[in-house]
Structure 1
Amino acid sequence: MTTEFLQIDPTELRFVFELKKQSSCLIQLANKVDQYIAFKVKTTSPKKYCVRPNIGIIKPKGKCDFTVTMQAQQTAPPNMHCKDKFLIQSTVVPFGVTEDDITSDMFTKDIGKYIEEKKLKVVLISPPPSPVLLPMNGDVKQDPSDQINVLKDRVPRGVENIPPPLRVSAEKGLEPVLVTREDKTDEDIVPRHAENVGDMKPAKDDALLNLPPKGDVQLNLAKGCEELKSRLGMMDLKLREVRAPEFRLSIMTAEVTILRVNEERRANTKDKDLLKKELEVMKRKVNVKVQAGFPLLFVYMVALVGVAVGYYIHPVIHKA
């Protein structure tokens, strides 16, 4: 049998290897035939990897994914070379077979049974380097974008003596760049703004914003809280006054219904007692009548004896 059951993507397991950290890899299986395919995943290092799910059934022309997780390792392999391998076995199963029905016997190579096997290698990848520091002219310097962010963070906090930018010259090396008037205007804005900020006081801020003093604000807040509490208390009283009549009416109706139910129960018990007494009287009367006359069985026996005697006497009379 030359037809392939499954298409595996990717064809190798790639893990980003970092010490004391787990790493996962996703593998997709695609069914290429018009039959149900059962698969099973095996590995040469079962304690090192965790496969979920390691067995399954794929519908015709369907797909299924499984995840392989490499446990955290304490040491790195030499030259990042890993000898671990994975084996994916697949075979055709009839319709109606579930994952619970899959056993290891289904993947044994018997006569007349085809088992497809595909091996996958494990490839370890080192994590990408952090792009914080970049080498420039033999010295390690920060990225220009990071320098811009640092300068932006420094401006609002206050005035700092930032050195002028350096210009590279072929003869003398690094030289300071002359600052023009346009550049000075931008630099002067920051110290002036900082001086204004330092001279400003809380009282002036309040005056500019037309705000009352802090003591008045606290008094106003206390008065507002007291007014709100009083209003809430009045609202509670009104609600109680409104709900009181309705509550009383509900209590009265409940009491009336309870009284009616109790009266009905008493009447029913009285009726039951009367019926019991009448039944007892009727039973006594029937017993008295039966005891006063002959028993019915005795009457039947006398009648039968009379018929038998008459039958025996009748032929004797004819003979005479």
Structure 2
Amino acid sequence: MSSGELLHIEPLDLKFPFELKKQISCTIQLSNKTENHVAFKVKTTNPKKYCVRPNTGVVLPRSTCDIIVTMQAQKEMPADMQCKDKFLLQSVSAGPGTTIKDITSELFNKEPGKLVEECKLKVIYYPPPQPPSPVAEGSDEGLSQSPTLLENDNPNNGFEATRSFSDSHDKSSETKSLVSKLAEEKVAAVQRNNRLRQELELLKRDIHKSRSGGVSFMFVIIVGLVGVILGYIVKK
């Protein structure tokens, strides 16, 4: 790791688990140790081979920034897994309003009274981890006997496994059926609830209408009854 006055850089060695025809990435973390904005720029001796994102940027005060370095897929294995590629990370103090658009090559020019830090990073290749080799059959006498003893103790192992799978499948089917039934009941309950709300609303409207027109309705009924009685008396 590098600990300059502006940025703390980790790691200093870019390690790639080299594999043919495969893109490989590693991360560089920049930590701003100051109370000022710090602008940075990344250069490499082999720009066509690597992709750096971001290759320029601004690290805010007391904050961090990650840089992703991606090596393009390679068609040939390097001799002795050695790599001569190098990176250069430059950093300089910047004003509070500095943005990526303001970062130019001139910003990192060394001038009297101006602090421009430079940190060189090496590239290291190493072989990718190999998967564990399978154990040869019969290489361990004790292990080779264990399956035989299990098969002799319980010759129906295969059927038990199948039965266990069938049971779980039946349980799964029952569960799905129950969930489907509950979902249907929920939909029906919602529909009933909506109908009850509609009926309640209609009932409220009828009550309101009957209250507003109650006197005239009763008056009509009374007048009708009086007319019937008078007609009956006249007939008598």
**1:189 is the counterpart of 2:190:** no
TM-score (norm 1): 0.45
**1:79 is the counterpart of 2:80:** yes
C-alpha change, 1:20 and 1:4, in structure 2 (3 Å) is same
Structure 2 unaligned spans of 5+: 160-236
CA distance in 1, matches of 2:49, 2:35: 35
The amino acid across from 1:190 in the alignment is: N
Deviation at 1:35, TM superposition (A): 1.3
The amino acid across from 1:51 in the alignment is: V
The amino acid across from 1:115 in the alignment is: V
- Per-residue CA distance 1:22-41 (angstroms, 9 max, x = gap): 11001100111221110000
CA distance in 2, matches of 1:143, 1:84: 48
C-alpha change, 1:102 and 1:187, in structure 2 (3 Å) is closer
Question: 4+ runs of 1 displaced by more than 4 Å?
Answer: 142-145
For the 8 Å contact 1:132–1:142, the answer to whether it is kept is no
Matches within 5 A, 1:62-73: 62-73=63-74
C-alpha change, 1:76 and 1:188, in structure 2 (3 Å) is closer
**1:55 is the counterpart of 2:19:** no
Structure 1 unaligned spans of 5+: 135-140, 156-161, 163-182, 198-320
Matches within 5 A, 1:19-34: 19-34=20-35
Matches within 5 A, 1:292-307: none
Deviation at 1:125, TM superposition (A): 1.2
> What residue in structure 1 maps to residue 18 of structure 2?
17
TM-score (norm 2): 0.60
Bigger relative contact order (CA 8 A; separation at least 6): 2
* Larger Cα-atom Rg: 1
C-alpha change, 1:77 and 1:142, in structure 2 (3 Å) is farther
Deviation at 1:88, TM superposition (A): 0.2
Structure with a larger share of its residues in helix: 1
**1:92 is the counterpart of 2:93:** yes
Aligned-pair Cα RMSD in Å: 4.0
The amino acid across from 1:188 in the alignment is: N
Size of the aligned set, in residue pairs, is 173
C-alpha change, 1:151 and 1:123, in structure 2 (3 Å) is farther
The amino acid across from 2:133 in the alignment is: V
